[in-house]
Structure 1
Amino acid sequence: MLGNDEPMAEYRNPLRGKLLGKDLVVWRNKEERWSCFDDRCPHRAAPLTEGRIEDDGSLLCAYHAWRFDADGKCLSIPQSDRGGKDEAQPKACAKVYPTQVAQGMVWVWGENGPDAGLESALTPAQLIPDLDDKEGVESGRVMLASVGQNDLAYGWDTFMENVVDPSHVTVSHHGIAGDRYTGPSPIDLKPSARWPVPTKDGFEFEFRDDSLPADSTVTFQPPCLVINEAKDSAGKLLLIIYGTPTRPGWVRLLGRSAYVHTFAPNSKEAKVQAKEDKRNGVNKSRLQATANVVTKLPSWLQHVTGSLFLHQDLVFLHYQEKILASAGCDSSNYGQAVFVPAAADRAVLALRQWITKHGSGGPAWDKNCDRTLPPRERNREALFNVYENHTKSCTSCQGALKNVKKMLTTAKTAAVISFTWAVLRGARAVGTAAAAGSPSAPVINAVTARAMLPAVALTFASVGAVKALEKLRGMFYTYSFHHQDSP
């Protein structure tokens, strides 16, 4: 899957994708149709991601200028003079993977072949019904945040295990979503009535989250969707998380949050509910307050601050899966390799059981994929590389980064100019006071200080802006994190 909630016009170049160890190119033609091919030109195996989307809507291979339409058909071989006979050969076609577009994401079917298109069409994408409520979105009853996309340096199973585990949140996300000293407490995960036991269709657990407070559920819908839902009288907050297995030791996160009001804001029903809550001493909804902030942030700010949250887990999970793998642990013997006695771990165990019983032991990697886990990354700057894992493939963040750089240049220029202005104002004030025959240095100093004050204030403001913008710019490139440094 690929995040796709940015304006369509922003996607002017083919995008690099990875799924189950396959290298893919994902692109959109002028009719705004999305296509996915093997990232390999059938001519000489040059990567199509280095190509171009031309004005006629075709994908051009930049090596020898072969062109392909959205269905993978070869439109042009400039080196051939056989009247289109070479273009008509099946070997001239790109290898196509069927796609669907829904709820701000491009969905790619992981297989290629004569029946792949039909199989894809008959398999509905794992969607959230509330997000398709157009009337609710227009009325404000359904509030949506943008889709965020990040490549994370740990595998699909480790990622899924993490997002079905509510007990780590107040500890791992100390300072953002809880307190490691006062937050941890027993969480009694209970199978819901809808899914009393894990089945091939997934599982769901219910629990009470007293930190919000809210009645909550965590739901796994295979193979890639986890929904964390918290509900109170005002509405429900959904954290919607998709995990795409890109290659061994890596996963692509696509996530968004949504808030669904019980009643449309300012409606008669909402006012009645508010009065009832006040009469019963129910505090204002923390879920709603959170959604009011998050959903109104611009996409780039939601994305860049996402690293603050994601890297708090990344620092554990990158190493955790390699520690377990080196001990010969997989989902089939997970319960023997670790100690998970608490009810809070029930969803983690259910996930591992599902992988063993229904999930073929893990992702169905491409036959040509090297299934060896990558080594542990000891360079923290490489591990927390935000630019490679998000920014370079996000049009929203690329645009914001360009603007931040422009503002940084302006702030630096303003700092130099204001400092120069301060020096000149001071020199002029000294000269004016001396020429007027001022009797003492204190008088000259006072005159000089008054003259320099506006320029000095502007200098300090400009220097402060430079520091703030440099820090913001750095977050588009890397955000290193160490729990020992978090008070």
Structure 2
Amino acid sequence: MMENLAIQISASSCSQVLVKSPCASGKVQNLPQSSLFTVSLRTGSKFSSSRRPVALRHLCKQYVGPRCSTLELAKPSKENEENSSGDSRELLDRQEETDVNRKTGSFNWLEQWYPVAVVKHMDKLQPRAETILGRDLVIWWDRNANRWQVFDDACPHRTAPLSEGRIHESGHLQCSYHGWTFNSSGSCTMIPQLEKGREQALNSSRACVKIYVSMEHQGMIWVWMDRAEGAEERAAANPPPFIPYLNDPNYVFDIGMMDLPYGYELLTENLLDPSHVPFAHHKIQGNRNTARPLNLKVVDSHIQGFSAKREETMDLIFHAPCLSRMDFRIPPPKTPPKGHPLALKVREWIASRKQPKVDEEVKQISTIFFCVPVAPGKSKVIFSFPRNFAQLVFKLTPRWFGHYSHMAVIDSDLLLLHELEHRIQERGGDIKPLYFTPALADTCVMEFRKWFKTLAQGKVDYGAKSSSTLPPRPPRRVLFDRGISHVAKCKICSGAAANFRRLKEVLQIVSVALVGLVGIASSNSWHVLSNFSVPLVCLAIASAVTSIWLSRFIKKMYEYHDYNHAVVE
């Protein structure tokens, strides 16, 4: 039977999403620019109106999220109502069975969506190499299909990296080693070395590149890592997480990305731990002198993650395998009412009789992190901090400066996490005898470790690159190399760095030229400049000093900047 269900969510719009449930499949049909939209739900069995809210809430929570609430249910026809009672128990039984599987099942690392790149950081003219779960990938813009493609980063000829190739004049991906070219489906369209037998070779399955299911979603390129038969159907039935704030025009945000020299477990654990912020990010994102206890409580836990909260001010969500999200509410400051005591009593009584309204002045900010497993001892984080206040400040701030502040935050605990990961491995890899967590602030850290050990087999599926041995400790200068971790893969920062370097060179040329003019002015050959010798000297000095300052600025912003906690007061 088909039912139309009205659901209200906090987002102003929502991308098309398929219902993730064994007993239903459907999609959002109408998406107006309001918070109320209609979902068409096609169920495999009928259920009564008394059971419908329970079943609907279960389905909504899976594909919209915990922030949705049911407002209204379309009234079923009399015939459907009469025939629904027998099948309602079947639907609820299947839902209960699904809940049991979610509690006790096994997490499949490959049958998941992973964000692999930020769209606005990509260059459509150049393929990009990325690694997810130890699998080497190449991302390239297919202008014929008008979309991003994700292929295995290995030419079927002799496994040369396709990420070192180019976009051919035909719009296909060409290997730069021998010129083999591949279209949207991974089929080989050109083998320059062949004349006879060309068609037979092109039609061979061995000439095809392995491709991955991919999509563009909320400003990121996502890849489904499973390539087994039926992967497209499974990927369509299990869409990537939807973040309402990233589609809400009332929120401003940017999306950033960094590659990190420590693994997925430590990255996720760290981003589920808000209590480290005042200390590890002192004077960048917090202050150690204002640290307070954080009493966190887990409110839901299942195979796809868990959710927790701190009173009414913070919600924390871990959606496996990548999403770590914290939502903060900042209520407006309460000022004591003024007036005669009797008038205040009357005002309080009137307010208590009115229907409570949502306080539209409450400020909200969310910290959204996607923790992507790359390889043992390596990970990637894609992040965004949407907020519904200070929009003008955000719009006036250059994006390259925002990226600098993000790099500063991540760098400030980078060495701590890198060293912590090596110490855990050197002591056997079991955190139980190493961690002492008496405070409720560590609740989410230990809940993640519990999920990772019991439901995710205690290890990430890195395929052929799986290893219990971490890469060796690199020098401190390499750990904090911002060119490696961010700039090389960010079109915004690499462009800004190039512009600053050009400006530095221009200032150096101007400084030399002004010194030359001063020399000419001091000679007898050009008396007209003698009156301007002092200003020219001042400009030459200013240009030289600014050039030196820019050199240090570029190094700190885009090359290397250490963070020493001992010297930060």
User: Is the shorter-chain TM-score for this pair beyond 0.5, marking a shared fold?
Assistant: yes
Give 1:199's aligned amino acid. Answer: H
Question: Which range moves more in the overlay, 74-83 or 93-102?
Answer: 74-83
The aligned residue for residue 250 of structure 1 is 378
For 1:29 and 1:52, the matched residues in 2 are separated by: 12
Q: Deviations over 1:95-129 (max 9, x none)?
A: 11111110111111112232222222222011202
1:142 to 251, 272, 290: 251
The letter of the residue matching 2:296 is L
- Distance apart, 1:132 and its partner CA: 2.4
State the 1:294 CA deviation: 4.2
Query: 1:360 — aligned with what?
Result: 457
What CA deviation, in whole Å up to 9, does each residue of 1:141-190 have, x standing for no partner? 22122x2111000110100111111111111111112222x122211112
Matched, 1:299 2:399: yes
Alignment of 1:148-167 (within 5 A): 148-167=256-275
* Mapped partners of 2:316, 2:429: distance in 1: 25
Q: For residues 243 and 297 of structure 1, what CA distance do their matches in structure 2 show?
A: 26
In 1, Cα distance between equivalents of 2:394 and 2:453:
37
Deviation, structure 1 residue 234? 3.2
Partner of 1:467: 548
**CA RMSD, Structure 1 to Structure 2 (Å):** 2.5
Give SS of 2:234's match.
helix
Tell me, which stretches of 5 or more residues in structure 2 are unaligned?
1-114, 331-360
Partner residue of 2:291? 184
In 1, distance between residues paired with 2:244 and 2:152? 32
**1:315 aligned to 2:415?**
yes
Q: Which residue number corresponds to residue 366 of structure 2?
A: 238
| CA 292–372 in structure 1, closer or farther in 2 if over 3 Å, else same | farther
Secondary structure of the equivalent of 1:363? coil
**Please, which runs of 5 or more residues in structure 1 have no aligned partner?**
209-213, 261-287, 433-447
Indicate the residue corresponding to 1:228 in structure 2. 326
Gap change, CA 1:231 and 1:349, over 3 Å in 2: same
Return the offset for 1:399: 1.6
In the alignment, structure 1 residue 169 sits paired with structure 2 residue 277: yes
- C-alpha spacing 1:110/1:179, structure 2 compared with 1 (3 Å): same
**Is the CA contact 2:191–2:198 (under 8 Å) kept in the aligned structure 1?**
no
* 1:308-354 deviation line (CA, Å, top 9, x unaligned): 11110101000001101111133xxx343211111111111111111
- Tell me by how many angstroms 1:360 deviates: 2.0
Counterpart-to-counterpart distance in 1, 2:472 and 2:184? 38
| 1:205 to 2:308 alignment | yes
1:292–1:230 CA distance, 2 compared to 1 (3 A):
farther
Counting matched residue pairs gives 422
Residues 74 and 416 from structure 1, CA distance in 2 versus in 1: closer, same or farther, beyond 3 angstroms? same
- Counterpart of 1:55 in structure 2 is 169
CA pair 143-368 structure 1, distance change in 2 beyond 3 A? closer
Distance 2:362 2:183 in 1: 49
Tell me the SS of whatever aligns to 2:387: strand
- The answer to whether the 8 A contact 2:305-2:320 is kept is yes
User: Counterparts of 1:414-429 in structure 2 under 5 Å?
Assistant: 414-422=510-518, 424-425=520-521
1:8-407 paired onto structure 2 within 5 Å: 10-30=123-143, 31-80=145-194, 81-133=196-248, 137=249, 141-145=250-254, 147-180=255-288, 182-191=289-298, 196-207=299-310, 215-232=313-330, 233-260=361-388, 288-289=389-390, 292-294=392-394, 296-330=396-430, 334-377=431-474, 379-407=475-503
Letter in 2 for 1:90: S
**TM-score, normalised on structure 1?**
0.81
Q: 1:371 to 1:68 in 2, by over 3 A?
A: farther
Shift of 1:301: 2.6
The SS at the match of 2:290 is: coil
Q: How far apart, in 1, do the equivalents of 2:523 and 2:405 lie?
A: 45
The separation in 2 between residues aligned to 1:369 and 1:305, in whole angstroms, is: 34
User: TM-score, normalised to structure 2's length?
Assistant: 0.70
Q: CA, structure 1 residues 313+43, in 2 after alignment: closer, same or farther (shift >3 Å)?
A: same
Report what 2:563 is aligned to: 481
> 1:87 and 1:297 mapped to 2: Cα distance?
51
Cα distance in structure 1, aligned partners of 2:160 and 2:125: 20
Contact 1:150 1:253 in 2 (8 A): yes
CA distance in 2, matches of 1:409, 1:350: 53
Residues 365 and 371 in structure 1, CA contact (< 8 A), matched pair in contact too:
no
Over the matched positions of the two proteins, sequence identity in percent amounts to 30
Contact kept in structure 2, 1:3 and 1:148, CA below 8 Å:
no
Partner of 1:437: none
Q: Distance in 2 between matches of 1:315 and 1:221?
A: 26
Deviations 1:426-469 (A, max 9, x none): 677xx99xxxxxxxxxxxxxxx9x85442233233213321332
Q: Distance in 2 between matches of 1:352 and 1:255?
A: 22
* Distance verdict in 2 for CA 1:69–1:82, change over 3 Å: same
Deviations 1:257-299 (A, max 9, x none): 1113xxxxxxxxxxxxxxxxxxxxxxxxxxx34x653454333
